[in-house]
Chains A and B, each alone.
Chain A
């Protein structure tokens, strides 16, 4: 049954992708530099949003790779390369993080020693939240992720040539190690980058909150790329809408998971009503931020929930294309909502500035370029994977 040779005609992605990616990246960089000159603080906070979005896509994709191996999934084997290409942004994080580290003092209140000395809450958090330990953590985390990315993709790539089943076994073992490591590292990343913008706040569920959002974003990116590539015939022709259904179902599950976690965080804080926790939500209710808070529920939960709830819509390429673009925006919106109200000049409410639009342009540019670069070098289908035929034969 699984003996038949897999016929796969390698096709290069159109050259226009790298052109568009390059143009978007250049526009993003130019506008980004301009933004830093015009309004340093606002540009910096926006850059933080963009950076954490990159973590979401890269590390979330890495998690999806590990999930496929650890769960022994067949259906996702034909699209694993798409996931791997998105995970390729992980090594870039070490470069992207540099502007943030250089401007740490404008971003993180806790990095000012004189402010910490006057503040008993910050003083008690100082053993964790201090500049040297923070920088160590940043590079250790990015190092761990890069290492796992490197091993996962190297084994997968080698298998294309050798068709050796041993690499699958190795990657399964690596996944078993990576999943708990991922849980810890993504929590640390969430606390370091997103929660410490408001260092006085307490929330133990915050790491899971970011995890849920990041997997939604990575899955949305993978779904969008899969549908687009499949429509244009870059993936294997025997892939059906049943494969898309699995993506849609997973997306639906993680949208629900995000809603569950987000509500859990809100309800516990709302019910306990402790001033040291509630102020964070009150801040997100100041002026026009209230619209953002309500909007977040609608954008990241209600709309995708209704759009994906029925079985036909989970396998409809049009719905999936729309909802994955929507969810990518929703995750960006979520991060924006987490970070921006903590900016001093916006504490009273949101006001529009063109700066908020610059960095997402750069993100799209980088993702396109990285994806295109990887697609040029490697097959879009892991042709050596022993589970590939089984994955292609997948039916509901």
Chain B
């Protein structure tokens, strides 16, 4: 035992205020390399131990301020220099909108840097061995006791006088803690390494099975697989192996009425206008005309659209010939197409086609207004 090196002397207490009292006396005795241990933070212990205020706050301040600067710099550069964008009609650099982001970045930088600095610089972590580990003393102060430890590296330390001092402070018990004979690193022990390895294997296997196997086991089918025909996939039910079937010969869509004059040049004897030019009807005609007809024929059917000159010129609808067309003829041209003009039957419904015819009649009358029409407009 004699050649064992001493780590320090410890004293245990049952009540926090006794520890604080003892700590005050140890501090008065002039020790510098000593510490107290308690299961939870004690109010007033800093003052009793004469600990200087922690300088951790400086780290927080520096990182907090750099958070402010970084956030503002980031937003200034991205939002108003590199890629300026108007958002909600606000200026490129609008401080009120940037405050929340600045606040968040400040807080996260300040807090994370505080915690990292606390562990790395102030606690001196990581540390894998300490003489107090696994001692009876440490077990007790982690639970319901309060302890003082004076380290042997303190210049004032002397085995006998230090223990006498601690004994004079009315402790529950005192003890000398020895350093281990040789430095041991429990993390390199084979038992620990085997444990580590087996944990790694179990965890990897477990996650593999969970994510790749168990996740795909279906406890209930929830009607995911059904014996039905799915669009664009085959089916063994039919002889030709195709799932999708053609409709029965001669099927027509609901609401479809066949156009019997397809390809004919002049079906006008039988085609007569079924719609009456009410205001709603004319407005519908105007809307459809402006959408489908005006790109070629022009907004007022003058044949003067933007396409003029790029295509075979679309004709004006104010020519003698067009004015003399019957309603049925114009309807037929829209439905069937004429020369370069394709059929518009698929874009414009029957009702809308007749409304366009009525609207073309309005345009034609407006271009060739008579004196009596003007009188009518004036009296309006």
Q: Which of the candidate stretches A61-69, A229-237, A263-271, A379-387 sits at the interface with the other chain? A: A263-271
Complex-state Cα separation, A311 to B45, whole angstroms: 17
Residues of A within 8 A of B99 (CB): 263, 267
Complex-state Cα separation, A271 to B98, whole angstroms: 11
Residues of B within 8 A of A311 (CB): 53, 57
Asked whether, in the complex, the Cβ of B97 is within 8 Å of the Cβ of A393, the reply is no
Given A273-B89, A311-B57, A396-B44: A267 and B17 interface contact (C-beta under 8 Å): no
Which residues B17-48 have CB closer than 8 A to chain A?
17, 43-47
Per-residue B-contact encoding for A108-149, CB less than 8 Å = 1, 0 else: 000000000000000000000000000000000000000000
Per-residue B-contact encoding for A365-396, CB less than 8 Å = 1, 0 else: 00000000000000000000000000001111
Asked whether, in the complex, the Cβ of A396 is within 8 Å of the Cβ of B97, the reply is no
Which residues B258-284 have CB closer than 8 A to chain A?
none
Asked whether, in the complex, the Cβ of A396 is within 8 Å of the Cβ of B88, the reply is no
Q: In chain B, what residue has the closest Cβ to A266?
A: B96
Asked whether, in the complex, the Cβ of A394 is within 8 Å of the Cβ of B43, the reply is yes
Residues of A within 8 A of B312 (CB): none
Asked whether, in the complex, the Cβ of B46 is within 8 Å of the Cβ of A396, the reply is yes
Selected contact of B88 from candidates A266, A273, A393, A395, CB within 8 Å: A273
Tell me if B15 counts as interface (CB < 8 A to partner A). Answer: yes
Selected contact of A271 from candidates B15, B53, B88, CB within 8 Å: B88
Selected contact of A395 from candidates B47, B53, B57, B96, CB within 8 Å: B47
Asked whether, in the complex, the Cβ of A267 is within 8 Å of the Cβ of B53, the reply is no
- Min CB–CB distance A256 → chain B (angstroms): 11
Tell me if A37 counts as interface (CB < 8 A to partner B). Answer: no
Tell me if A1 counts as interface (CB < 8 A to partner B). Answer: yes
The size of the chain B interface, using a CB distance under 8 A, is: 16
Residues of B within 8 A of A263 (CB): 96, 99
Selected contact of A396 from candidates B17, B43, B89, B90, CB within 8 Å: B43
Residue with the greatest number of chain A CB neighbours at <10 A, chosen from B17, B43, B46 = B43
Name B's interface SS.
helix
Asked whether, in the complex, the Cβ of B96 is within 8 Å of the Cβ of A270, the reply is yes
The size of the chain A interface, using a CB distance under 8 A, is: 13
Tell me if B100 counts as interface (CB < 8 A to partner A). Answer: yes
Complex-state Cα separation, A396 to B47, whole angstroms: 8
Complex-state Cα separation, A396 to B54, whole angstroms: 13
Residue with the greatest number of chain B CB neighbours at <10 A, chosen from A266, A267, A395 = A395
Q: In chain A, what residue has the closest Cβ to B47?
A: A395
Residues of A within 8 A of B88 (CB): 271, 273
Residues of A within 8 A of B89 (CB): 273
Complex-state Cα separation, A63 to B96, whole angstroms: 32
Residues of A within 8 A of B43 (CB): 393-396
Complex-state Cα separation, A395 to B41, whole angstroms: 11
Per-residue B-contact encoding for A310-348, CB less than 8 Å = 1, 0 else: 010000000000000000000000000000000000000
Which residues A276-307 have CB closer than 8 A to chain B?
none
Residues of A within 8 A of B90 (CB): 271
- Min CB–CB distance B46 → chain A (angstroms): 7
- Min CB–CB distance A259 → chain B (angstroms): 10
Residues of B within 8 A of A266 (CB): 96
Complex-state Cα separation, A396 to B90, whole angstroms: 47
Residues of B within 8 A of A267 (CB): 96-97, 99-100
Complex-state Cα separation, A273 to B91, whole angstroms: 13
Q: In chain A, what residue has the closest Cβ to B54?
A: A311
- Min CB–CB distance B53 → chain A (angstroms): 7
- Min CB–CB distance A123 → chain B (angstroms): 31
Complex-state Cα separation, A273 to B46, whole angstroms: 52
Residues of B within 8 A of A394 (CB): 43-44
- Min CB–CB distance B139 → chain A (angstroms): 25
- Min CB–CB distance A4 → chain B (angstroms): 11
Complex-state Cα separation, A396 to B41, whole angstroms: 10
Residues of A within 8 A of B100 (CB): 267
Residues of A within 8 A of B45 (CB): 395
Q: In chain A, what residue has the closest Cβ to B48?
A: A395
Complex-state Cα separation, A318 to B100, whole angstroms: 34
Nearest 8 CB-CB pairings of A with B: A395-B44, A395-B43, A267-B96, A1-B17, A270-B96, A395-B47, A394-B43, A271-B97
What are 18 A-B pairs with beta-carbon distances under 8 A? A1-B17, A242-B44, A263-B96, A263-B99, A266-B96, A267-B97, A267-B99, A267-B100, A271-B88, A271-B96, A271-B97, A311-B53, A393-B43, A393-B44, A395-B43, A395-B44, A395-B46, A396-B47
With A394-B43, A396-B46 known, 12 other A-B pairs at CB within 8 A are A1-B15, A1-B17, A242-B44, A263-B96, A263-B99, A267-B96, A311-B53, A311-B57, A393-B43, A393-B44, A394-B44, A395-B43
Q: Which residues in A have some Cβ–Cβ distance to B below 8 Å?
A: 1, 242, 263, 266-267, 270-271, 273, 311, 393-396
